[in-house]
Chain A
Amino acid sequence: MAYSEKVMDHFANPRNVGEMEDADGIGEVGNSKCGDIMKMYIKVRDDIITDVSFKTFGCGAAIATSSMATELVKGHSIKEALQLTNKAVMEALDGLPPVKVHCSVLAEQAIKAAVSDYYEKQGIDPKDIVGEIPEPIECHLED
């Protein structure tokens, strides 16, 4: 298994990493038992994501996909951010090894979770706008 240069670049020099003090929305997906947690922070003005940052516990792909996802939504409208797919994140990273595809799914979900949280804080029910955020597919532990 080898990562692309882009993945390694985003892993070694992650963009937009760190906590955001005055975030308008915070989303967290994944769990420690499965080995990855992604937390996304967004700042929104006039439906535009003006700033975004992340914190991630996870493997190289988890960190790289988080970083790339923040890059892909920064400066874009919420509507555009909600259209971000895990595929787009993967393509932007020149691909991921098959066993790491779930990391890109988590990154997509983390963005959606942050937008949901933003709407909730605005007193708007996010369900119809963001939809359900499914449980990550990959980690199914017996105990």
Chain B
Amino acid sequence: MDHRVYADNAATTKLSERALQAMMPCLTTIFGNASSIYTEGAASRKIIDKARETFAQCLGVKNPNEIYFLSGGSEADNFAIKGAAELMLKKGKKHIISTRFEHHAVLHTLEYLEKHGFEVTLLDVHENGIVRPEEFEAAIREDTGLATIMFANNEIGTIQPIKELASIAKKHGVLFHTDAVQAVGTIPVNIEDLGVDMLSLSAHKFHGPKGVGAIYIKKGIRLPNLIHGGAQERGYRAGTENIAGIAGAAEALKESCEVMQERNARLERLRDKLIDSLLKIERSRINGDRIHRLPGNVNMCFEGVEGEAMLLCLDLQGVAASSGSACTSGSLDPSHVLLAIGLPHEIAHGSVRLTFSTETTEEDIDHIISVLPPIIKRLRDMSPLWEKIVNG
């Protein structure tokens, strides 16, 4: 099988041609250090400045200086949360609110802070995978200093009511950070309209290069520096900039925003076609809200089969997908996201996530529709668990 269907765009995406073209000069002729005053340095500086403007424009930010480049989503999350925690200490606050289904870049950072005396409340995300604003408000305490709630979940693609949550946080004087790694470039994100204080994003999720991301930090918030050294990124993150990466990220974001409306209309139709078709399989279910969901996200469970086995079969049939089964998470438990929406372990083991992008075609979806049901049948035929399920 030579034709591959890449259906794991939530993990990472292919670098776009335009992003590559934007990067090439920075890997060849434009090599100066952006901190140098001579012509070569100025050429590099210009690229970074332009990229920052592009980010600001695409994300509804008036002041480009509120955007800082760094190495990606994990770094942005760590920076925002640990930095805000340090600010909290000065104010005598120690309570942080988040959700049960955040990315590990957030959850593990919070666990680290708990070891250092902070208290964390993780909000329930309910069966539909969406935080309830009233529960967020009820969780806010006198000593709450930070809330960090993801924009769109990376596994089940559910979109959170960020604008409403941010306004509640503001009302109570709580800093609000959102991990928008799965949202930026995928759905419209207007930062000033949302009213968030900090936002993390990562270029490789929208056809930009890996190892490049950015954080939005609202003016007036002064986090402690992340990397001490030179004056790059206004002192927040010392180190000679990754010019090619930044140029590629900006071009990829610009392109994503240009094609977004048309692409999403198409992806939503393909997504719904796939979900409707796979739901015809007995004892299947869709994970997460069907409406408030990323346009390219399908996450389903099929009882009686194990996720990794499905992925291997799909790979043999030319499809790259992912799963929240324990075997693929590298841990002993199935995905914390699927457990957070209330799935029992045995069902969570049988999940498959298919995520699409601008590159996805109708033929790709049809191919999945033709190969996945027989894979599930074959695995169920050899599954003692399935035997128990059907025999009651």
Contacts and interface: CB of A to CB of B under 8 A. Distances in A.
Interface of A: 1, 3, 8, 11-12, 14, 17-19, 28, 32-39, 54-63, 99-100, 138-141
Contacts of B345: 32-35, 141
Contacts of A32: 345-346, 349, 385
A94 to B, nearest CB: 16
B346 A33 contact: yes
Contacts of B384: 28, 37-39, 55-57
Given A1-B330, A35-B325, A35-B327, 10 more contacts: A12-B312, A12-B316, A17-B382, A32-B349, A59-B307, A59-B309, A60-B309, A62-B306, A100-B327, A141-B333
B181 to A, nearest CB: 24
Nearest to B323: A59
A36 B383 CA distance: 10
Closest 8 CB pairs of A and B: A59-B327, A32-B346, A59-B308, A57-B385, A57-B383, A39-B384, A35-B349, A33-B345
A99 B330 contact: yes
Given A11-B312, A34-B332, A58 B346 contact: no
8 contacts: A3-B312, A19-B387, A32-B349, A36-B306, A38-B384, A55-B383, A59-B327, A141-B345
B380 to A, nearest CB: 9
Nearest to B334: A35
Interface in B353-392: 381-387
A141 B306 contact: no
Given A32-B345, A35-B306, A56 B382 contact: yes
A33 to B, nearest CB: 4
Interface residues of B, number: 27
Contacts of A17: 382
A3 to B, nearest CB: 8
B304 interface: yes
Interface in B293-315: 304-309, 312
A104 B312 CA distance: 18
B199 interface: no
- Find the residue from B308, B345, B382 having the highest chain A CB count within 10 A: B382
A39 B325 CA distance: 20
A101 B121 CA distance: 36
A55 B378 CA distance: 11
- Find the residue from A8, A56, A58 having the highest chain B CB count within 10 A: A58
Contacts of A3: 312
B341 interface: no
B326 interface: yes
A56 B309 CA distance: 11
Contacts of B346: 32-33, 35
Contacts of A33: 344-346
Nearest to A14: B382
B332 A58 contact: no
Contacts of B316: 12
Given A60-B308, A141-B345, A34 B385 contact: no
Contacts of B333: 141
A18 B349 CA distance: 22
A135 B386 CA distance: 22
- Find the residue from B307, B330, B384 having the highest chain A CB count within 10 A: B384
A63 B310 CA distance: 12
- Find the residue from B344, B345, B385 having the highest chain A CB count within 10 A: B385
Nearest to A143: B345
Contacts of B386: 57
Contact of B306 (A39, A54, A58, A100): A58
B308 A34 contact: no
A35 B182 CA distance: 28
A6 to B, nearest CB: 14
B87 to A, nearest CB: 34
Given A57-B305, A63-B382, A141 B332 contact: yes
Contacts of A99: 327, 330
Nearest to B333: A141
A107 B309 CA distance: 17
Contacts of A56: 382-384
Contacts of A55: 382-384, 387
Nearest to A11: B312
A138 B330 CA distance: 12
Contacts of A58: 306, 309, 327
A54 B381 CA distance: 11
A33 B344 CA distance: 8
A1 B279 CA distance: 31
Nearest to A103: B327
Interface string B165-193: 00000000000000000000000000000
A11 B304 CA distance: 17
B332 A139 contact: yes
